[in-house]
Amino acid sequence: MSASLERPFDLVIGGSETPGSRGEHAPVKNPASNADLAQVAVGHADDARHAMEVAQAAFESSWWAPDDGGRRAKALGKLAGILETRLEEFARLETLNMGKTIKEARGEIGFVVRTLEYVAGLADKIEGETISVPGARLDYTVREPLGVTVHIAPWNYPLLLAIRGVAPALAAGNAAVLKPASLTPLSAIAFGRLAKEAGIPDGILNIVVGSGTEVGESLVTDPRCRSVSFTGSGEVGHRIAELAAQRTIPATLELGGKSPVVVFPDADLDRAARGIAFGIFGNAGQMCWAGSRLLVHASVHDALVERVAKHAAATRLGPGIEAESEMGPLVSPDHLAKVAGYVESARSEGGKVVTGGARVADAPLAAGNFYRPTVVDGAPATAKAVREEIFGPVLMVHSFESTDEAIRLANGTDFGLFAAVWTKDLATAHTTAKRLDAGMVCVNEAPVTFPQTPFGGFKGSGLGFEQGSEVVRAYTRRKNVVINLAVPKPKA
């Protein structure tokens, strides 16, 4: 089941593949079996420095930054086209490395294609303003690329979350250095290999793999790094913010969540149950914006929990690469242990496990990191599993009696990434969306996002936004120019 990939996955620096300064390789695993999948170059601090140097040189000397955006748009559009023709190959790679189902992987790679197309359309629309000022003066602003931008990605949507930062940075004329997560670097490396074919100058897109503390911090602290986009845990996000503050560079932080799904008594319970199951069991629950806390009106609590539990119990677990699998494994044995630990803590703190609550211990899935879709009811608000992000297929259920109580529970967390509302009443939908302390709200739908809509969180969930039409400008700096137009008086 774990087709091992023969060709090693090397770093991509300056348009060339390199095993890195020390020539080391390490295996990455297939989480469906924990068998070795591929050999990946291990980068170190000197590789990070080399990538930054090469990126800076490409930024200064290639046509990429000075272009008006038209040629960049063509190259990014071409990159989208190449990726689209190879979508199946990339989807398989993502599935084998990360574990998600092949259907989910196709959706992820399709989203990357759309992101590239979308930002390609923005590349030649980076405009300044003219500003009215006193006297005989002309004042205008220009948007310039920043220089070398650094992008640090997590393992749950390896290519999507990397490219949603890299693509707008490239569209704005920057040179990018990407560090994918060490567990799941394959799709990013394969993507880096496509840049040349798309006509992107060597050195404008570089991929360096390695540990976060060594390679990640070397990239962020490099004097050539002009901005960092980070998606990952709050703990590392805070470290990145500290490093960025010391260097006075902007940082976009997309961090964790503990997102509420509020279900009112008038909701279509069958649709809601499907959406809730999708929102917490999709990608095996390894989603920053997973709807991980179900807040349901007491009058429909039993009916809804029964429906969601049925979906959970009926979910077919299996290797993502097999077409009939509906949920793949968790990304690693460590992560499996962490998720299982949260469920045990919920049990010991008074939660009732309605369904799931165990890893799959039977052959052939026992060799992989499979954890059953789990519903836990009635754990107190103070329980660790209610307060902290589990990042697995575990739904915590609570009931409420009034709208005020639902809002208080929904907002009573350090996070503020996403929230969902299920109701047929228009006024309830709008007023609840307004009162929810979350960067994104979906009404009567499972979590859904598009390259053209902003994606970002409030409170502990992050700083800044990805996606949407403003994102390309976030990778530019704004310069004001004032010109004195006074004509010197002729000498008498």
Contact residues toward ligand NAD (CB under 6 A) are 152-156, 161, 179, 181-182, 212-213, 216-217, 220, 231-233, 236, 239-240, 254-257, 288, 389, 391, 417, 457, 461-462
- Taking the least distance from each CB to ligand NAD, the nearer of 116 and 178 is 178
* Number of residues in the chain: 492
Q: What are the C-alpha distances in Å from 407 to residues 398, 455, 467?
A: 12, 22, 27
The verdict on whether 117 is a catalytic residue reads: no
> How is 373-407 classified by DSSP, letter by letter?
-EEEE---TTSHHHHS---SSEEEEEEESSHHHHH
User: Minimum Å distance from CB 470 to ligand NAD?
Assistant: 16
The verdict on whether 235 is a catalytic residue reads: no
User: Minimum Å distance from CB 261 to ligand NAD?
Assistant: 16
User: Minimum Å distance from CB 144 to ligand NAD?
Assistant: 26
- Three-state DSSP class for residue 23: coil
Q: Which of 288, 389, 442, 466 is catalytic?
A: 288
Residues 6+ apart with CB under 8 A from 16: 202
Question: 49: buried, middle or exposed (CB in 10 Å: 19+, 13-18, 0-12)?
Answer: middle
Neighbours of 132 (CB within 10 A): 7
User: Minimum Å distance from CB 176 to ligand NAD?
Assistant: 15
- Taking the least distance from each CB to ligand NAD, the nearer of 10 and 377 is 10
- Taking the least distance from each CB to ligand NAD, the nearer of 99 and 232 is 232
User: Minimum Å distance from CB 414 to ligand NAD?
Assistant: 12
- Judge if the upstream peptide bond of residue 364 is cis by omega within 30 degrees of 0: yes
Q: What are the C-alpha distances in Å from 411 to residues 105, 346, 398, 458?
A: 32, 20, 14, 11
Buried b / exposed e along 271-285 (16+ C-beta atoms within 10 A): ebbebbbbbbbbbbb
- Taking the least distance from each CB to ligand NAD, the nearer of 256 and 318 is 256
- Taking the least distance from each CB to ligand NAD, the nearer of 156 and 374 is 156
Active-site residue list: 254, 288
